[in-house]
Amino acid sequence: MDEYQPPADPATDPPLGPLVDPTPRPLPARIPHRGRVVELEPLHVRHAPDLWRAAQSGGADASWAYLGYGPFPSEAAMRAHVGAFATQHDPMAWAVRPHASGTADGWLTLMEIQPSQAHIELGHIWFSPRMQRTRAATEAMFLLLRHAMDELGYRRLTWKCNALNAPSRRAAARLGFTYEGTLRNVAVVKGRRRDTAWFSILDEEWPARRGAIEAWLDDANWDSAGRPRAPLAR
The predicted model gives 139-152 an average pLDDT of: 98
pLDDT of residue 226: 92
The predicted model gives 54-66 an average pLDDT of: 91
Q: What torsion, rounded to 10 degrees, do the Cα atoms 232, 164, 134, 84 define?
A: -130
Residue 234's pLDDT band, with cuts at 50, 70 and 90, is low
Q: pLDDT tens digits for 208-227?
A: 999 999 999 999 999 999 99
CA quadruple 171, 151, 213, 224: dihedral sign: positive
Residue 233's pLDDT band, with cuts at 50, 70 and 90, is confident
**What's this model's pTM, rounded to 2 decimal places?**
0.96
Beta strands in 38-84 (DSSP E): 38-42
The SS3 call for residue 180 is strand
Q: What torsion, rounded to 10 degrees, do the Cα atoms 230, 200, 168, 79 define?
A: -110
Q: pLDDT tens digits for 90-112?
A: 999 999 999 999 999 999 999 99
pLDDT of residue 58: 83
Top CATH class of 33-221 equals alpha beta
Q: What torsion, rounded to 10 degrees, do the Cα atoms 55, 58, 62, 67 define?
A: -10
Amino acid at 216: W
Q: How far is CA 138 from CA 8, 68, 77, 182, in A?
A: 35, 22, 28, 24
Residue 2's pLDDT band, with cuts at 50, 70 and 90, is low
pLDDT of residue 228: 97
Residue 163's pLDDT band, with cuts at 50, 70 and 90, is very high
Q: Which residue has the higher pLDDT, 59 or 83?
A: 83
Q: Are strands 38-42 and 92-98 parallel, antiparallel or unpaired?
A: antiparallel
Q: pLDDT tens digits for 114-137?
A: 999 999 999 999 999 999 999 999
Cβ atoms 183, 198 nearer than 8 A: yes
